[in-house]
Amino acid sequence: MLIRFTVDPDIFSGSATNLDIKKKHANLLKLWRTLGLLVIPGDKQLDSKLYEAICKAPQAIQTMWKEGLKHNRKTSCSSNFASALAQDTPFLKEGEVMGIRLACLDRDRAELWGLGPDEYSKVIAKTMEICRFGDEDQASIVRSALDFASRPINSEETPEAIWRTKISDLSTNSRFITIVDRYALRNFIENKCPGHLDGLQFLISKIAMANTPDRKIINIFSSYSVAWNLFDPSASFEDGMESLSLELKNRLHRFVGESISEIALHITRDSVFGSIVHYRYILFDQRNLLQLDTGLESLSDFPGYVRRTCPCHHYEWQSELADAFRNDEKKLRSKIDYTSKFSL
C-alpha cells in the first residue's frame, strides 16, 4: 500500500515565488503523507544530497520539506544510488533501483532518462516508474495505489491476502497501531476453535512475527455487554474484565516477538461504544487510517464465520476526511470503563 519513492535533488532549484512550483511541492508532500515512503539515497539523512538540496531551497519550500522529513514516513538506501540518480543514463537493471517504485525527476533529467514529451511516466529497469516533478498523480503506480487503497475487500480474499495487500506495509513502517473495533473482543473470546484465528489474533500474530526495527505499541479499543455472557454473570464487572484480559494475555502470549513491546486493552460498555463510534478501523501512527466496515472480522478464519464483502477506505489521519474519526475517538477515550496493559 505504501509507495517507496524518491525525488531528484534538482527539483528544489525552482523559485519559491512561482505559485505553480509551490503547488507542485504541496501536492507531492500530500501524496507522501497519504501513501508514500520517501527513500533518501545516502547512509544518513543529514549527509544526503537530497537533504543538502532541501537546505538550499527557497525558505518556503525548505520549511515544507523539513516538516515532511520530521513527521512523514522515510527510510534510506545506499549512497551509491544518489550518485547514480545524478547521472544522465537511466537505470537498466532491477537490482539498481534499491526497491524504489517511483522517482520524481527534474524535467531535463526525465528527458535524458527517456521520458517522452507526451508521456506522463515510464517504467525502467522493470520495476521503477519515472515521472516529471508535478506529474506524480498521473503515474500508474500512484493511480493504482489510490484506487486500490479504498477498493472493497471481496468475500473470497483470504486473511493472508488482505494482510499482504492492505496492512503489511503500514504495519511494518509504524510504531503505534490503534485498533478500534466494537466487536473485536467478543469475537476473540467466542473463538474456541484450536488452529483457527479470529481477526484480532491473526493481526497480532502477523505484527508480532514481522521483523521491524521499532517495537510496536498496540492499543485495542473494544466493547463489552453483559448480554454476551462472556464471563460468570455473578461476577462484578471489574472481575469479569480482569478474567477477559487474562484470557487475552494468555492466548496472545504465543505470538509474542521482538516486534511488539506492549498491548493495551481499553473496554467501553457496548451501549456507550455504539453511541459514539460508528466505524471500525486500524490507525497507524496517527498518520494512516484504514477503515474496515466489517472490522477485524475480515481477517478471521474460524469455522462458522461467513465471509462478507468489506467496504474499505484509506484516509490521511490529519485530513478533513478523517475529522469524524478523530472527534469520535477523542470522545471514546473519555468513556473507557476498563484498561489493561501488558508488556511483551
Q: How confident is the model at residue 342 (pLDDT cuts 50, 70, 90)?
A: confident
CA-based nearest residue to 78, from 107, 40, 109, 49: 40
- Averaged pLDDT of the chain: 90
Pair (27, 173) in one structural domain: no
SS3 category, 36: strand
Q: How confident is the model at residue 265 (pLDDT cuts 50, 70, 90)?
A: very high
- Asked whether residue 211 carries a pLDDT value surpassing 80, the answer given is no
- Asked whether residue 204 carries a pLDDT value surpassing 70, the answer given is yes
Residue with the larger pLDDT of the pair 237 and 153: 153
Pair (304, 273) in one structural domain: yes
Residue with the larger pLDDT of the pair 304 and 82: 82
CB 283 within 8 A of CB 178: yes
Q: What is the pLDDT of residue 259?
A: 87
Average pLDDT estimate for 103-128: 92
Pair (123, 171) in one structural domain: no
CA-based nearest residue to 185, from 233, 231, 221: 221
**H or E stretch at 200:** helix 199-209
- What CA dihedral angle connects 44, 46, 51 and 53, to 10 degrees? -120
Q: Which domain holds residue 21?
A: 3-146
Pair (259, 245) in one structural domain: yes
Domain stops at, among 118, 146, 174: 146
Pair (132, 154) in one structural domain: no
Domain stops at, among 146, 177, 201: 146
Q: What is the pLDDT of residue 304?
A: 65
- Asked whether residue 338 carries a pLDDT value surpassing 80, the answer given is yes
How big is the chain, counted in residues?
344
Pair (131, 158) in one structural domain: no
Pair (154, 297) in one structural domain: yes
Q: How confident is the model at residue 16 (pLDDT cuts 50, 70, 90)?
A: low
Average pLDDT estimate for 229-244: 86
Q: What is the pLDDT of residue 17?
A: 62
CATH number of the domain residue 322 falls in: 3.30.870.10
Which of 45-65 are b and which e, b meaning 16 or more Cβ less than 10 Å from the residue's Cβ?
eeebbbbebbeebbeebbebb
Pair (142, 282) in one structural domain: no
Which of 218-243 are b and which e, b meaning 16 or more Cβ less than 10 Å from the residue's Cβ?
bbbbbbbeeeeebbeeeeeeeebbee
CA 154 to chain centre: 20
Pair (58, 179) in one structural domain: no
Pair (142, 154) in one structural domain: no
Q: What is the pLDDT of residue 323?
A: 96
Average pLDDT estimate for 170-178: 94
Q: What is the pLDDT of residue 315?
A: 93
Give percent of the chain with pLDDT exceeding 90.
Answer: 65
Average pLDDT estimate for 257-274: 91
Pair (129, 165) in one structural domain: no
Residue with the larger pLDDT of the pair 306 and 295: 295
Which residues make beta-bridge pairs with 104? 7, 131
Q: How confident is the model at residue 229 (pLDDT cuts 50, 70, 90)?
A: confident
CB 272 within 8 A of CB 110: no
CA-based nearest residue to 240, from 202, 279, 187, 185: 185
Residue with the larger pLDDT of the pair 94 and 122: 122
What domain count does the chain have?
Answer: 2
- Asked whether residue 47 carries a pLDDT value surpassing 90, the answer given is no
- Asked whether residue 173 carries a pLDDT value surpassing 80, the answer given is yes
Q: What is the pLDDT of residue 252?
A: 86
Q: What is the pLDDT of residue 15?
A: 66
State the cell numbers at 264.
493495551
Domain stops at, among 146, 162, 190: 146
Q: How confident is the model at residue 90 (pLDDT cuts 50, 70, 90)?
A: confident
Pair (34, 154) in one structural domain: no
- Asked whether residue 58 carries a pLDDT value surpassing 80, the answer given is yes
- Asked whether residue 80 carries a pLDDT value surpassing 90, the answer given is no
